[in-house]
């Protein structure tokens, strides 16, 4: 169980291939719900998820730890300026 940003950082550094990120809520692009992605680049302050664009090109989408996100019980939530979650990503732990 990944309960916070520090646990996620450690897991990404040690075994990034053991995690899959599944979008379970996206108020901006609802068509992304159900999309599963893997981490690619891992840095001290951020990591990337491999993301397919509309034209089929796969790019790195950066997620910065210091941005307006919270991680609790394997759910990564992005919050708007009013404090409401608008994107949620489930962290699936695999062997």
What confidence tens digit (pLDDT) does each residue in 22-76 have? 999 999 999 999 999 999 999 999 999 999 888 989 999 999 987 788 999 999 9
Q: Report the DSSP pairing between strands 58-64 and 39-42.
A: unpaired
Number of domains in the chain: 1
pLDDT at 75: 97
pLDDT at 61: 94
In three-state secondary structure terms, 4 is coil
Strands (E), 43-84: 46-52, 58-64, 69-72, 75-79
pLDDT at 9: 94
CA-to-CA dists, residue 9 to 33, 45, 59, 78, 87, angstroms: 24, 9, 21, 17, 20
Which residue range is the domain that position 22 belongs to? 5-93
């Amino acid at each position: 169980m990944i309960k916070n940003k520090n646990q996620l950082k450690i897991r990404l550094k040690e075994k990034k291939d053991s995690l899959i990120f599944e979008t379970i809520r996206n108020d901006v692009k609802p068509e992304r719900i159900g999309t599963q992605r893997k981490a690619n680049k891992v840095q001290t302050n951020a990591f990337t998820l491999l993301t397919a664009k509309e034209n089929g090109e796969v790019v790195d989408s950066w997620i910065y730890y210091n941005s307006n996100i919270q991680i609790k019980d394997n759910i990564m939530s992005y919050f708007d300026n009013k404090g409401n979650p608008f994107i949620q990503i489930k962290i699936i732990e695999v062997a």
